Amino acid sequence: MKQYLEKVINRQSLSVEEMNGAARCMFGEEVSDTEIGAFLTGLKVKGETPEEIAGLVHVIREKSPLKFSNLSSVMDNCGTGGDGSQSFNISTTSAFVVAGAGITVAKHGNRSISSKTGSADVLEHLGVSLSLSSEQMEELLLENGIAFLFAPHVHPSLKRIMGVRKQLRIPTIFNLIGPLTNPVQLDSQLLGIYRRDMLESMAIALHQLGRRRALVVNGAGYMDEASLAGENHLVLLDRGEMIQFTLTPEEVNLPTYELDQIRGGDSKENSDILRDVLKGKKGAYRDTVLFNAGLALFANGKAETVQEGVAAAKESIDSGAALAKLEKLVEYSKRKIGV
C-alpha cells in the first residue's frame, strides 16, 4: 500500500492498474484503517481521476458474491446522493416508470445516508425484500424487468471501509462511486451527481466500465437528479463520444417547480408519494419523475430525444404498466421470502 499512498500524497494520479492494486490492498487484512484513511484523504486532496474511479469500481464489482449470467441490455438509474436537497425518492420512482416502458432495470441502492429516506428504506416499507439471492434477482429481471439490489448485501466487502469513512467524516471517492458498482454488467445508465465539476470525469469512467450509452446529470440547484427548478447540466456518452449540453423544463414541455415542492419525508411519506405517482396523481412529484424517467429512456437509447422519453414515461404511468412492475416485485418478495 505504501507505494500507492506515497504517490497520491505527492499529488500523482494512479493508472487503472495501480488503482486495482491499491483497492485490493484496502480490502486486505494487512493494511490498517489509518493507511486506508490516509489514502482516501490523499485522493480527495489530489482530486479523483476517471482512471482511479474505474479502477476502484472494477475491484469492488470483482469482490461481489452476486453473479449474473443470463442478462443483457440492462440499465440502472441512480444518483450519488449528497446533494442535501431532502427530495423524495426520485430515481427509485422513476425506475418503475422506465421498467414499465420496456427497459430492464437493475436498481442498485442503499439505505439513507445523506437524506431522510434511501431507496432501500422506501422499498422495504412497500414490502420489497432486501435479501433476495442473485438467482432470485436474475429471475425477477428476466420475468419482471426490474429488481432491487441492496448495496450492503451486494458488497459485503465494503463493511470495513464504511467504518473508516465514518471516522473520516469527509466526502471521499466512495461518495462518488456507489451508482457505478452495480454487479450487473450494465449496457446503459442514467447517473446523477451532486458535483457539477465531475460530470465529464464520471462519463469517462462509465466509458471505461463498458457502458454503451450513459447520461450524467447535475440538476438545477446542484441536485444529483434532474430538476425542474431551472437549468440542468448533462454529458451524454454515446459509444465513446461525449456531448455536453444543458436542459430546462421548458425544453421538454414541463412546468418549473421550486426545490421545496419536491421534498420528501420518512419511509411512509415517501412510499405514499411513490405509489401516488405510479397511480397517476399529477403535480410536482409526477412531473419530476417524468423528466428523470424521460432522461433515462434517452440515456438507454429507446427514446431518440428527451421529449420522446417524457412522452413514453407518461404512457408507462397512465397505462398502469409502471405500477404493475412495483406490484409484481412486492408479490414476488412475499411469495419467496415471506416479507
Please indicate if the annotation marks 79 as binding a ligand: yes
To the question of whether residue 111 is assigned a binding role by annotation, the answer is: yes
The answer to the question of whether 286 is labelled as a binding residue is no
Cite the beta strand spans of 122-231 per DSSP E: 146-150, 188-192, 213-218
Which parts of 88-133 are beta strand (E)?
A: 104-109
Confirm whether residue 91 is marked as ligand binding: yes
According to the annotation, is 224 in a ligand binding site? yes
279 is in an annotated binding site: no
Asked if residue 151 lies in contact with residue 66, where contact means CB atoms within 8 angstroms, the answer is no
Say how far apart CA 305 and CA 245 lie, in whole Å.
Answer: 13
**Residue 13 is assigned to a ligand binding site:** no
- Give helix then strand counts, H and E, for the chain: 15, 7
Q: Residue 148 and residue 140: Cα distance in Å, rounded?
A: 9
Asked whether residue 197 is marked as a ligand-binding residue, the answer is no
Task: Tell whether residue 317 is among the known ligand binding residues.
Answer: no
Is there a binding annotation on residue 305?
no
- Confirm or deny that 87 is annotated as ligand binding: yes
The residues, ordered by sequence, that sit 6+ positions from 107 with a Cβ below 8 Å of its Cβ are 76, 77, 78, 91, 92, 95, 119, 146, 147, 148, 149
Q: 181 a known binding residue?
A: no
d(CA 130, CA 177): 21
The β-bridge relationship of strands 213-218 and 146-150 is unpaired
Residue 113 labeled ligand binder: yes
Confirm or deny that 9 is annotated as ligand binding.
Answer: no
Asked if residue 336 belongs to a known ligand binding site, the reply is: no
Q: Residue 89, annotated ligand binder?
A: yes
Q: Is 337 annotated as a binding residue?
A: no
d(CA 17, CA 336) in angstroms, rounded, equals: 41
What residues form the annotated binding site? 79, 82-83, 87, 89-92, 107-115, 119, 165, 224-225
What residues form the annotated binding site for anthranilate? 79, 110, 165
What residues form the annotated binding site for 5-phospho-alpha-D-ribose 1-diphosphate? 79, 82-83, 87, 89-92, 107-115, 119
What residues form the annotated binding site for Mg(2+)? 91, 224-225
